[in-house]
Structure 1
Amino acid sequence: MRRALPLPLGLLAALGTPLPSLAAPSVELGQVLITDEAQDELIDAGERLRETPGASNLVDMQRVGQGRVASNQDVLAYQPGVFAQSAGNDGIKLSIRGSGINRAPGAHGSGVYTMFDGLPLTGPGGTPYELFEPLWLSRAELLRGANGFDQGSLALGGAINYVTHTGYDAAPLQVRYEAGSRGYQRRHVSSGQVLGNLDYYVALTDAEYDGYQKHSSGSAKGFAANVGYRFNPNLETRFYLRYRETENELAGRLTKAQIKHHPRAANAAYLARDDSRPQPGSTWVGNKTTFFLDDDSRLEAGLVYHDFPMDLREGPMRLKVAYTDVSGTLNYLRRDTLFGHQSKTTLGWRTTKHLPNSGASQFVRNGDEFGPRSRDFSYQGSDTVLHAGNDLELAPDLWLTTGLAMIYTRRESAVSYPADGGKVSLHDWDYAPRLGLRYDIAPQLQVYGNLSRSVEPPHPWSLIWSSTVATQPIELENQTATTLELGARGDSVLGRWDLAWYYAQVRHELLAVEIVAGLPAKEANASPTVHQGIEAGLDSTLWERPGNGKLSLRQAYTFSDFHYRDDDRFGDNRLPGIPMHYYQGELRYDWPSGFYAGVNTQIASKVQVDYANSYHADAYALLGARLGWDSPKQDWQTWLDLRNLTDKRYAATVTPGYDDAGQDVARSTPGEGFAAYLGVSYSLR
């Protein structure tokens, strides 16, 4: 029997209580000043998200920057519907509505379509993390579930668009330095300006850390740049460049007993082999050009080249991987009047294709000694999506959303050494319809609902790694899901709130499982599963007096119930990997002078660590604190970020096994103990 705990106090009570004005969903704005251009961009993004009949989040990086900004975990904190936990390096475990719940942190992500500036990052091989640097961002836009449809996203978890600074919202010069526990340092310098019709942004960032566990140190360095030009009011273009190198030692996963008594230890096997993951350098180059055809229509064209090689020194092997893909996008957006009713139409096409050099070579390994080549194999894949959507105002404030997407996927893998193991070639057409309604009951209250289908093909490398025969790839089917979502958002006496419920029936779910500890997980199609949950957020002003300051509380709660439907082996067992209940909250006081201080908490229920549900990682509750100062002139900023004040020992992430038979197996990555981080930033205005 599955029973949901009550929502945190105040979340449900906020429903239906009218108040002054409706803000964009989940916008994080604190006591900070930003330029008029940046403010307008944020407001426009919020309005676009609100026109979607489904759940969304808008993250303002000004608020995120008032503390340590080390990884995507910091960016996606306090976001309802999102589980994001770091494994101690750049790689995080990210799950939205059960996407990628069984993936190891740092592996190429699944189930969420990720973009940089509206251009594809996710490809047939998943979503690599090497190019992600949070200090380069101005905001992040999340469209949960099927709500990323107009971006060409058909993933179960939806879409995330990470938006880089431009010359319009960046300072002519910004310098930032972060330092903290266990050798953590992050240095950042950037510049952005508008020079007539041209604007530019360029940033250089590097970081290093010793890590919480033994043998978990790492470093990263890279730069980002973009330059835009407005030829005339009807034509503008922007070029983007990202390059980043990372290097991480790997400490491996621990047992529950080890986390309780020796959380900073490394997995003995990882330590003996000196496992590591150097990323020789990833490059992402893109262009987006917009043609404004008239006042009511525009055409957006994009092109991306992405090269991301890897040198994986994990387990009893070394794997040198070459990945290169190219993407193209084309979107046509138009506003019309249809039979006297407003109509908004989007037609889109996107494609991503691996280039021929994508493949890998495997070498025998003995510690730091690398032996002869033992296997060569290739990865080839492509995704092409055609989508058409329309928003039609049926009556004042009542909008009907319809859409249909077609996706063509190709997955090919072949072993060429030591013997020709044949070739698996999967080609498939699939479809994803969408139907939604949204109604603005009042300027302060909106309700919505949608019914949709999602499609996710396997990674090409899964065809190789999931095989038990070294020279023979296997075949996998596309994962599909039909999802019903209902929700509402608005303003009330208790603050700005949003609430969503969803229910998804998933077929052929792609689940990976680590059968032999320390060896790559095997992926297979599961029997039918159910993903259902509740996502709730509430930002409240508890007390405010002009000239004296403001006391506020922000909360995010996610209830996740993912389980089999009458599986022959596991019945209705829960799918392992993330907690059923996950809550984050922050109570904060802001003074008019720019000082602020707050306390925060993170609470998670226990997590099953295998599909048999024979063992679990314990529930935990963390406490933190943050205080800082933002100059009224918007030039100086400083902060102190204290985390895990009670030095709680807990499992931050779980990489599931198949059936541990009740044994305490090394499946979990320990969360960081007590840590203190200090930062200072200067921006020339």
Structure 2
Amino acid sequence: MRPVLPPSSYLGLLALFSIGQPAFGASAIELGQMLITDAQPDEMDDARERLRSVPGATNVVDLQQVEQGRVASNQDVLAYQPGVFAQSAGNDGIKLSIRGSGINRAPGAHGSGVYTLFDGLPLTGPGGTPYELFEPLWLSRAEIMRGANGFDAGALALGGAINYVTHTGYDAAPLQLRYEIGSRGYQHRHVSSGQVLGDLDYYVALTDSEYDGYQRHSSGSAKGVAANVGYRFNANVQTRFYLRYRETENQLAGRLTKEQIKHHPRAANPGYLSRNDSRPQPGSTWIGNKTTFYLADDARLEAGLVYHDYPMDLREGAMRLKVAYSDVSGTLNYLRHGTLFGHQSNTTVGWRTTKHLPNSGASQFSRINDVVGARSRDFTYQGSDTVVHASNDLELLPDLWLTTGLAMIYTRRESEVTYPASGGRVSQHDWDYAPRLGMRYDLRPDLQLYGNLSRSVEPPHPWSLVWSAPVSNQPMKMRNQTATTLELGARGDSVLGRWDLAWYYAQVRHELLNVEVVQGLPFKEFNASPTVHQGIEASLQSLLWERPGTGKLSLRQAYTFSDFHYRDDDTFGDNRLPGIPAHYYQAELRYDWPSGFYAAVNTQMASKVQVDYANSYHADAYAVLGAKLGWNSPKRDWQTWLDLRNLTNRRYAATVTPGYDDAGLDIARSTPGEALGVYAGVSYSFR
């Protein structure tokens, strides 16, 4: 029998601060539960090792573990990740924030503050990050680089970067079928195939879903296809083509007051209901290619090209907005492992650019009670982001590495109202920079210390120049958001388990804050006075007990402390920025039997959330409980599970979309969290 620590050792995340040697001299503690295929362990291990070489906070999400329960949206993918706040708004769109990025944006739509990639190629563009291509069942893993630690991916946003990695023929089954069903009309269907055929491999997946929604008037559906084909010409050259296409249809139920969430959480906002607000996405297409050239001297060159088309048809409030968005991206990265002055040295030089195509723009129509009237305004969106970055990791002493880097970014933002009268054109062209200095020290194989001082840069969206205008047809100029962040942390394995701990402090200037000034009208975005973002991010995965032939008991925990506030603002002083809880904790206690059965209980806890900049009102703290039961066959072909959400049927606000100053009144600012839900699923993989 494996020795067992006293239960008190595992209460809360105080255990993270006790760093010990591995039990019996082992180099690692066996953690978590993971289904393993023949080809995947190397890829997953390589990803973890690569991100461990970053002198800052990172996460790797294994989708095989996520898929042992309901996988409805990106919220399920990003659960149990320290430093990541991801909550569903009742449809495909989620509110995602890392270190306060995009803290005040409404859930869904075009997110900001986190640079997003598919398979190392850009998804995020000058218009932000659309959500309709996020189908989690297409993924093998997600790589999260929090804060400035997405530097080598060309990500300069405050929240960092997330790289969603799609299955390929090397880690997919020749045939996989999956079906999920659950409360309130939820269904999720998936079929995929992947194989290696000599020097060629392929992966293709078809997925569709539907749901009635928790609130009235919150039903939705989605369908899409993902595919990629790779070919190895020889040992030195390989290429891969990617395709994603997906359509979504979401009714909008709107936000509720605290009183409504307590007593009528399934109600829809009356305005949204009477107008029949909805957000059909006609179909988004993402096509890309990445070609890798392996050079002499342990170096390689990666070239990428992406075309992305993502139209929208927004039927919200007193308008209908038909938006055409399309952009093209190019990337080029040179990576070399070698020596410099007799020391081990790793160098990365990269370039990426994303540019809106000329057809990007929108037409606005009047709308009364779901009756669309005359065209009221046309405007164009144009923008581009170009980043050149270079970094070097140099081993100064054995296991002591110095990281240096510098990025330059050129941003262009242009908006113009062309109807009913042309004019009011805004054109912004800015150069900015982002230096980076970091250190990491592998004190032992099971203990690493790290720190970095970095700068981030985030330009406004082109649409902000129009919608934030004080006069309806007169766009306004906005400045890039910048931040200087100091980060210190450590990670490793100990007798308590695998742990990660990070602290950061960021001074932010010209923060891009989004606010609903008048309900039913477009949100306004402005540059704020100086703000501070600081916090603690911690995780612990522990094997509590194990006996051969009997089973094992494990615990995983993630805690995020967020302190985001003004620095002596003329109006709001040192008020907290609304929209995100200060304390956010997730945990799962799980027992696995040798036969493949497993059972788990989980919890999610959040402190109260301010709902306006004046801090005059707040959404309540909450704690919800859940449970899972499942079975993974010994041959790894069959899988089935039962996922129970919110067992106590707790009524709470999952997301908050802030107002300016609610004067202590209970205004409709919150989206209700999901009530008691029962979900079941089955998956079969032919191997």
Same-fold call, TM cutoff 0.5: yes
Partner of 1:643: 645
CA contact (8 A) 1:424 1:474 kept: yes
Alpha-carbon distance in structure 1 between the residues aligned to 2:114 and 2:11: 26
Q: 1:461-472 counterparts in 2 under 5 A? A: 461-472=463-474
| Superposition deviation, residue 518 in structure 1 | 2.1
Is 2:398 the counterpart of 1:361?
no
Q: CA RMSD in A?
A: 1.3
Task: Say which SS state the counterpart of residue 62 (structure 1) adopts.
Answer: helix
Please give the alpha-carbon distance, in whole angstroms, between the structure 2 residues aligned to 1:491 and 1:124: 40
Question: Aligned residue for 1:420?
Answer: 422
CA offset digits 1:472-527 (Å, max 9, x no partner): 10000000000000000000111000000000000000000001112211000000
Q: Give the Cα separation in 2 of the matches to 1:503 and 1:18.
A: 31
Instruction: Provide the residue aligned with 1:165 in structure 2.
Output: 167
Q: Deviations over 1:419-438 (max 9, x none)?
A: 11321000000000000000
| Deviation digits for residues 369-406 of structure 1 (CA, Å, limit 9, x no counterpart) | 11110000000000000000000000000000000000
**1:10 shift after superposition:** 4.2
Q: TM-score with structure 1 length normalisation?
A: 0.98
Residue matched to 1:3: none
Out of 12, 22, 31, the residue aligned to residue 16 of structure 2 is 12
Q: How does 1:15-34 map to 2 (within 5 A)?
A: 15-19=19-23, 20=25, 29-32=32-35, 34=36
- How far, CA to CA, are the matches of 1:468 and 1:480 in structure 2? 24
**CA offset at residue 31 of structure 1?**
4.6
Residues in 2 aligned to 1:487 and 1:173: alpha-carbon distance in whole angstroms: 42
8 A contact 2:295–2:301 mirrored in 1 = yes
Give SS of 1:12's match: helix
Which of residues 295, 303, 321 is equivalent to 1:293?
295
Asked if the contact 1:21/1:444 (under 8 Å) is kept, the reply is: no
**Contact 1:10-1:494 at 8 Å conserved across structures:** no
Would you say the 8 A contact 2:411–2:431 is kept in 1? yes
Structure 1: how far apart are the matches of 2:652 and 2:662? Answer: 20
Where 2:641 maps in the other structure, the secondary structure is strand
Residue 81 of structure 2: aligned partner: 79
Cα distance, 1:471 vs structure 2? 1.2
The match for 1:390 is: 392
Alignment of 1:216-615 (within 5 A): 216-615=218-617
Query: Residue type matched to 1:247 in 2?
Result: E
Check conservation: 2:16, 2:500, Cα contact below 8 A: no
Correspondence for 2:153: 151
Q: 1:271 to 1:228 in 2, by over 3 A?
A: same
Separation in structure 2 between the aligned mates of residue 590 and residue 295 of structure 1, nearest angstrom: 46
Measure, in 1, the Cα distance between the counterparts of 2:472 and 2:31.
50
Q: Percent identity between the aligned chains?
A: 82
Q: Which residue of 2 aligns with 1:212?
A: 214
**Amino acid corresponding to residue 596 of structure 1 in structure 2:** Y
Question: Using the alignment, how far apart are the partners of 1:470 and 1:340 within structure 2?
Answer: 62
Structure 1 segments, 4+ long, off by >4 Å, are: 16-24
Equivalent-residue separation in structure 2 for 1:190 and 1:76 (angstroms): 22
Structure-2-length-normalised TM-score: 0.97
Q: CA deviation at 1:18?
A: 4.3
Q: Which amino acid aligns with 2:626?
A: G
For residue 679 of structure 2, the aligned residue among 670, 677, 683 is 677
Is 1:192 matched up with 2:194?
yes
Paired residue secondary structure (2:229): strand
- SS class of match (1:39): helix
Quote how far apart the aligned CAs of 1:154 are.
0.3
Residue 115 of structure 1 aligns to which amino acid in structure 2?
Answer: L
- What does the per-residue CA deviation read over 1:241-296, in whole Å, with 9 as the maximum and x for residues that have no partner? 00000000000000000000000000000000000000000000000000001251
Alpha-carbon separation, structure 2, partners of 1:284 and 1:404 = 30
The amino acid of 1:197's aligned partner reads: D
Corresponding residue number in structure 2 for 1:61: 63
Structure 1 residue 95: Cα displacement = 0.3
Quickly say closer, same or farther: Cα 1:546–1:28, change in 2 above 3 A: closer
Q: Contact 1:8 / 1:557 at 8 angstroms: preserved in 2?
A: no
Q: Secondary structure at the match of 2:41?
A: helix
Q: CA deviation at 1:36?
A: 2.5
Distance 2:61 2:629 in 1: 20
> Take 1:470 and 1:213, find their aligned partners in 2: how far apart are those partners?
33
Return the offset for 1:470: 1.6
Q: Measure, in 2, the Cα distance between the counterparts of 1:558 and 1:642.
A: 24
CA distance in 1, matches of 2:16, 2:685: 41
Residue 12 of structure 1, CA deviation? 2.8
Unaligned runs of 5+ in 1: 1-5
Superposed CA deviations along residues 151-186 of structure 1, whole A, max 9, x for unmatched, are 000000000000000000000000000000000000
- Amino acid across the alignment from 2:427: S
Tell me the CA shift for residue 16 of structure 1.
Answer: 4.4
Code of the aligned partner of 1:177: Y
Structure 2 spans left out of the alignment, 5+ residues: 1-9
Partners of 2:374 and 2:151 lie apart in 1 by 47
